[in-house]
Structure formats: structure tokens, C-alpha cells
Amino acid sequence: MRIIPPLLCGLIFGAGLLISGMVQPTKVLGFLDIFGAWDPSLAVVMAAALAVSVPGFMLAGRRSRPWLAGKYFWPGKSGIDSPLVAGAALFGIGWGLVGLCPGPALESLATLSPGIIVFVVAMAAGMMAHDAWQQSRLTAQRERLLASATDG
Amino acid sequence: MANFTPVSAAVGGVLIGLSAVLLMLSTGRIAGISGVFSGLLNLRSEDKGWRIAFIAGLILAPVIAGLIGYGMAPPKLPLNWAVIIVAGLLVGFGTRLGGGCTSGHGICGIGRLSPRSIAATAIFMVTAIVTVAITRHVLGG
């Protein structure tokens, strides 16, 4: 039973990307191409989505817990730090190169397009590379701490 | 602005916002697609059920649309495989490092009026616009 709400949410999200046309890279690139034949549709999609999500999240914030879980998993970080800036900048370059972000890329797997499959595999590899890099940094940090403790 | 489609954009946008709010109200989770997906790649994480269900719904949407006569055209991608692979790697690495993508920061984060998400969205919009300007108008395309 617990998988029904997320399944329906995925369907609604997918319908939104389909109806708005944002599942098509050409449509997204039309928005990003402000020096060409500019298509402001993506801005309307965001504005309409925010018109629902701003009051919706306020409502959720007033409730003590979600319907099907013990607590809300609100993101914990609040400051603007260098990983946020660098990560967003790199993501934007990738998004601009092809016109695909994670939602439309995963949804387009339904078309079995070879290009989409390659993109999603590369995206997964990029995510795993990030996590492995973070893990190795943590390990190195711990080893340095241990080394300095024994030296001292 | 011959390609501008404000009505379908507004209808689709409302559905995306509704999905994000319903996912939060029901399961308490953020509908950030990069976060939902990357949680599946981590073998140690145990909360995979809702992630798989959400992504299955996302992929089923065009399948169902096709059954009722609104099939999705295959996306038009660059012919160069190297560009597709580099773009995929950047999107994957960047969204993990920056903690979100268009949905997580752009819809959910700004929806919560988070300064972090407003900054991230402004930054990825700018680098994407610059990238398109360079590939289309400087290098020619």
C-alpha cells in the first residue's frame, strides 16, 4: 500500500513534464537559448509549479507528520557553500549541452532511445563517481587524524 | 516567441507542483529527481521502495499516454555520443555535489523559499544559458 502514493506522484510528475513539453530537450533548449528564437514556456512551468508548491509546502509545514511516514524528511542544509555553487554550475553546463535534466531523462527511458539510455548510464556514473570521491576524502581525513593522534 | 506554449506549460507546471506537494504530504519526501534516483545507486540505503515506485510512475506516464493515443516522440539528442556522455556525467556529478536539480532546487527548494535553492537555481540557469549561447551562437550549430 505504501508504494501507491509515490507511484501516483511519479505518474502526475511525468504527466506534467509530458503536457508542458519539458520532456523534450528541444523545448528546454528553446528556453535556454535567450539569444535565439526564445521560448519562455519553461518559466511558465516553473511559475505554475511554484504557485502550487509554495502554499502546499506551507500546509505540510503546519502538519506534525505526513500521512504515511513518521516524519518529514526536510533538507537539513541551509547555507550557500562552495559545493552548492560548483555543483549547480557543473549541472547547468551538462543541462545546456543536451537539454536533459534528471526527470525528463528518466521519463524518456520509456522510449527506449539508445541516446537516452547512454545519458542515464553516464548520469548514474557521475553520481557514483561523486559519492566515491566523497567517501575517499572522508577516509583520507580520518587517516590523517589517526596519524596525527599517534604522532602526538 | 513562435514556440511559446503558455497554456500547456501552465497545466503541466501545476501538475508538477501538485506531485511535489502530494509526495511531501504522503511520504514526507522531497520530489527532487536527482535525489530520488541517486538513493537507488547507494547499495547501503534501505529506503528504496518509494524511490522505485516514484521512478516507475515517471516512466509509466508516457507508456499510458501512448496507450490512450498521446504517444511521446523520441527525444532529439545530439548526434555526437561524446557530448551525450559528457553531459550525463556533468548532470550526475553536479546534481550530487550541488544537492539537487531542476525539480529538487527549482520546484521544491524554491517552493520552501530556501535561499540555498534560489542560489542553486540561479547558478544552473546561468551556466546552462551560457553553454547554449556558446554551442549555438559561438561555435555554431
ipTM for the predicted complex comes to: 0.96
CA-based nearest residue in chain A for residue B106 = A46
Candidate from B5, B85, B106 with C-beta closest to A21: B5
The values of phi and psi at residue A80, to 5°, are -95, 105
> Cα(B79)–Cα(A87) distance, rounded to whole angstroms?
26
The values of phi and psi at residue B140, to 5°, are 80, 140
CA-based nearest residue in chain A for residue B109 = A75
Joined together, the cell numbers standing for residue A144 give: 590523517
Q: Where are the domains of chain A?
A: 4-111
- What integer pLDDT is reported at residue B141 of this predicted model? 53
Interface contacts (A, B; CB < 8 Å): 481
Is the Cβ–Cβ distance between B109 and B100 less than 8 Å?
Answer: yes
Asked if A15 lies within 8 A of B114 by C-beta distance, the reply is no
Asked if B13 lies within 8 A of A116 by C-beta distance, the reply is no
- What integer pLDDT is reported at residue A151 of this predicted model? 62
| pLDDT tens column, A49-95 | 999 999 999 999 899 899 988 899 998 887 899 999 999 999 999 99
- What integer pLDDT is reported at residue B2 of this predicted model? 79
Give yes or no for residue B75 having a pLDDT over 90.
yes
Mean pLDDT of B66-93: 95
Strands (E), chain A: none
| pLDDT tens column, A118-133 | 999 999 999 999 999 9
Candidate from A7, A98, A110 with C-beta closest to B77: A98
Contact list, A8 vs chain B (CB under 8 Å): 22, 57
Is the Cβ–Cβ distance between A101 and A95 less than 8 Å?
Answer: yes
What predicted TM-score, i.e. pTM, was given to this entire model?
0.95
B24-56: b or e for each residue (b if 16 or more CB lie within 10 Å)? bbbbbbbbbbbbbbbbeeeeeeeeeebbbbbbb
Give, as one character, the DSSP assignment of residue A22.
Answer: T
Share of chain B above pLDDT 90, in %: 89
CA-based nearest residue in chain A for residue B135 = A97
Give yes or no for residue A47 having a pLDDT over 70.
yes
The minimum CA-CA distance between A141 and chain B, rounded to whole Å, is 18
Concatenated DSSP letters for B44-92? Answer: T----HHHHHHHHHHHHHHHHHHHTT-PPPPPP--S-HHHHHHHHHHHH
> Cα(B95)–Cα(B50) distance, rounded to whole angstroms?
20
**What is chain B's mean pLDDT, rounded?**
94
